[in-house]
Structure 1
Amino acid sequence: MKDTAFRELCDLHTHTRASDGMNAPAENVRLAKEKGLAGIAITDHDTVAGIEEAIAAGQQYGITVVPGVEISTVAAGRDIHVLGYYIDAEEPELLGRLQTLRATREARNALILEKLHGLGMPLTLQEIKDGLGRPLRPDESIGRPHIADALVRKGYADDMRDAFDRYLGEGKPAYASVPRITPEEAMQWIREAGGAPVLAHPGLYGDDELVKRIIASGQPVGIEVYHSDHGIEEEERYLEIANQFGLIPTAGSDYHGERQGVIFHGDIGSRSVPLRTLEQLRIRSGLNEK
């Protein structure tokens, strides 16, 4: 049965198997329909490979699908993610730029595997790919959740959370960082592709002053105030920052699907915004700024 409380609400942060999610894009849309949501954004890491399928599913299920992306960047030595909404997913320059980011991700993955081997946990890229149960498309990528899943399957970790807490999370023994673009560059890429840049899950960075500096220099149109890993105090704090800088407060579950019975980070619809937020993002997108 649909939860009527979700009616006219949208989850603006979900991942599919085009990056490190578990589901096909159409399945995310179907689940949104099942939850009673009005809309969902597809925001895979450094790829737009899942958008076409999701839009077709949206037409089938009567769900608004927001074409999006989540771009990986670095600032002050921290991994920072930037969401882009209403991008032109066929814009050639954007596609080329995202390809370079996926190549960077592959280099990062190689470093992680090297570190795991040094920790006495040999793991190959092929073993990770075998866990997908299907061929990896050229415009898809392997992420840390895939590596964590393989660690669990090989008995090196108890579950996904254990794999991140002990090995793969920032500052942990197998964590690896490689040179990436800045958040400001990612925001400009998104604007040039007609989209609206939004700073993702600021509570995960542990540095609100850095968050404010990125906002001041990058000029995003929004900030992800409501996220599955934000507590109430963090949501209140980032809503104040949104008001301070005149940003659109957005919300997303950061849904990655279910692995070993655990949903990462939150279930579809666990964080959501009203439909009117989509129009606000459209109005302030790069397309309208040109």
Structure 2
Amino acid sequence: MATILITGAAGSIGTAVTPLLRAAGHRLRLLDVTPPSASGPADEVLLASATDDAAMHAAAAGTDLVVHLASHAAERTWRQIVDLNVESARVALDAARDAGSAILLASSVHAAGFVPSDEAGDGMPRARPDTYYGFSKVVSEALGDLYADRFGMRIVNARIMTFGDRPHTARSRSTWLSAADFARVVEAALTAPVGNAIVWGVSANTRRTVSLEPGRAIGYEPQDDAEAHVHALAAELGLASPDDIPPVGSDPLGGIFVDLPLGGPGP
């Protein structure tokens, strides 16, 4: 099995995926500025910032894959976004390059937030960020191109949509990503070909408006479907039936992020 470094391991995605990767037999190094609650006795916990070059190089040494999750996960000021999201992506890529490791970068649907849902198409739409946060993920994708072309690295940028235990909004009926499916993205990144693959981080939702084909090209085959949770979703929304859940139609992929003030607080 592989040795995997997870940055931002104390966050929601890291907390959810850590036990799944451990159960699959992988050796885990968990890096964050606070102790990850999901760490186990066999995991190596590293308390450090993902922007610390020396700490990241030491953490990545001897790994097969770096899973870079460390990031502000919503809109912040320009300086906060640049200092953490942009800088940590560069540091993570440098560390993975020097370690000879593959890397999975957590991009976001907000890199293409202004794309209408019904125009997402069969492939991967161009970047149309909806916030400074979304812009930072466009930078992550562009750095992936740069490092793949210059250094022959194996890189996956996963445009994560709506991560959670189940869909909780009408929009997430199409955009939900389960923890188990994100673990499958990680597994696919271990054997991704040389280059920078940009894929959708989304489950196999019947109502999804984006394509699974970019992910399938690197071996990602999601298994979960938001339709398994539609009765709970309808009840949560106060609706009589799943048939009453409104479709996303032409709504922007970025949802409410397109209306946030730039540099303002996230939702």
Greater relative contact order: 1 or 2 (C-alpha under 8 angstroms, separation 6 or more)?
Answer: 1
**TM-score, normalised to structure 1's length?**
0.30
**TM-score, normalised to structure 2's length?**
0.32
